[in-house]
Chains A and B, each alone.
Chain A
Amino acid sequence: MNPEPFQQLDRVIHEKGRLGIMSMLAASPELSFTELRGALGMTDGNLTTHIRALQEGGYVSVAKSYQNNRPLTTCSLTAPGRKAFAEYINLLEQIVRQNKPR
């Protein structure tokens, strides 16, 4: 058993809520705050905290605009965010593979 993949897991992405946000954003060019909140069933405060953590990590960019005179916050993955997410998935697959009975 090689413990290395476990140690390499990105702590910023690893948290359940943030992993949900990253997964949703990885499959879509951008998503609004409302779409994320609805899909992940999070409260406004919880989602804001997680998005801020991902933003500070440089994984997510947040854009504020107006649509039909209403404020619209949209989130998207940055290039480093996309790369970190791909690496995280690779590590998970590696963990699953190395522990599968042969």
Chain B
Amino acid sequence: MALWCEVIGMDTNWAEENLKTIRTLMERSAIYRRALAPIMLFAGTMGVLTAAIGIWFQQDSTQAFGTLWLGTAAIVVAGAFLTARRQAIKDKEHFWSPPTRRVGQALLPALSSGMFLGGVFTFVGLTNAITLTFIWLFFYGCALHSAGFFMMRGMKCFGWIFIGLAAVTALVLCLLNVTRPLAVPPSNIAITAHWLMGFFFGVLHLAYGAYLYWTEKRKNAA
């Protein structure tokens, strides 16, 4: 009888363990699979356009810089949301699927912190446009890297590219500032920041979007 009870207990544990393993594997397998190319191309185009507007119209105050780019970020987030939603409707699937929810949850802390800090620094005038650029780049890189755990297609790597390139550029600018103090004159700080933002948020997104466009499978599913 004791042996029989032991066998039953072992089997129950085994069944519970198996169910847990199945749940874990299913969660790990359900990753975000919607086509990212249109979202990246849209974000890149908006980045390049905003940089061009900032440079062309000489938006050279920190406030103008911050407002312009925060506005663009809001448009890009809304555009990405609508694009993903349209894909879901087209595929007759739920938009707010578990993988989409996980990607959203992973993106949110770093993205909202970056936007919040950017907003505060812009309107209180605590920093200059170049510092603001690097704050955004690092936060955005972290957000992409977190989301990459629930996505395919090298998103983590893309996050690291943002962080790595931002770090290298920041170091180069610091060295430049030490060796040649007027390499970036104060009047040009916001314009230089527009160039940096245009490269990072514009060109990098366009390059990644183009890569995805040529390599992504045409079938979507979240």
Judged by a CB distance under 8 angstroms, whether A10 is at the interface is: no
- Known: A19-B18, A89-B19. Is A68-B215 also a contact (CB below 8 A)? yes
- The answer to whether the Cβ of A25 comes within 8 Å of any Cβ in the partner chain is yes
Residue in B11, B18, B21, B28 whose beta carbon sits within 8 Å of that of A39 in the complex: B28
Report if B31 contacts A (CB, 8 A).
yes
Query: Does A27 belong to the interface (CB within 8 Å)?
Result: yes
Question: Which chain B positions have C-beta within 8 A of A23?
Answer: 21-22, 25-26, 29
Closest to B14 in A: A95
> Which of A1, A20, A27, A68 is B27 in contact with, Cβ under 8 Å?
A27
Contact residue among A28, A89, A100 (Cβ-Cβ distance under 8 Å from B29): A28
Residues on the B chain within 8 Å of A96, using CB:
12, 15-16, 19
The closest CB in chain A to the CB of B4 belongs to: A1
> B-facing mask of A4-29, CB < 8 A → 1, else 0?
00100000000000011001111111
The answer to whether B26 touches A67 (Cβ under 8 A) is no
The answer, yes or no, to whether B171 is at the interface (CB within 8 Å) is no
| Cβ–Cβ < 8 Å partners of B12 in chain A | 95-96, 99-100
In the assembled complex, the CB of B32 is this many whole angstroms from the nearest CB of chain A, namely: 11
- Contact B26 A1, beta carbon cutoff 8 Å: no
Which residue of B has the minimal Cβ distance to A1? B8
Within 8 A of A (CB), among B115-174: none
Question: How far, in angstroms, from A40 to B24 measured CA to CA in the complex?
Answer: 11
The number of residues on chain A lying at the interface, defined by a beta carbon within 8 Å of a beta carbon of chain B, is 23
Interface of B is mostly: helix
B15–A92 contact, CB under 8 A? Answer: yes
Q: How far is the CA of A89 from the CA of B4 in the complex (A)?
A: 24
Complex contacts, A100 vs chain B, CB 8 Å:
12
Q: In the bound complex, what is the Cα–Cα distance between A39 and B11 (angstroms)?
A: 26
With an 8 Å Cβ cutoff, the count of chain B residues facing the other chain is 23
Q: A31, B11: Cβ atoms under 8 Å? A: no
**Cα distance A97–B18 in the bound complex, in angstroms:** 14
Complex Cα distance, B170 from A79, in Å, reads 55
- Cβ < 8 Å to A, chain B residues 176-192: none
- Check if A93 sits within 8 Å of B19, measured CB to CB: yes
Minimum distance in angstroms from B31 CB to a CB of chain A: 7
Please, how many angstroms separate the alpha-carbon atoms of A89 and B217 in the complex? 32
Rounded to whole Å, the gap between the CB of A68 and the closest CB of chain B is: 6
The answer to whether B18 touches A24, judged by C-beta atoms less than 8 angstroms apart, is: no
Distance in angstroms between the alpha carbons of A27 and B8 in the assembled complex: 30
- In angstroms, Cα B219 to Cα A66, docked, is 15
Among all A-B residue pairs, the 5 with the closest Cβ atoms? A27-B26, A23-B25, A99-B12, A24-B29, A27-B29
Instruction: Show 9 A/B contacts (Cβ-Cβ < 8 Å), sorted by A.
Output: A6-B11, A20-B25, A23-B29, A24-B26, A24-B29, A27-B25, A89-B19, A96-B12, A96-B15
Binding site for A on B (CB under 8 A): 4, 8-9, 11-12, 15-16, 18-19, 21-22, 25-31, 33, 215, 217, 219, 221
- Kindly list 5 other residue pairs between chains A and B, CB separation below 8 angstroms, not including A23-B26, A39-B29: A24-B29, A27-B30, A29-B221, A95-B11, A100-B12
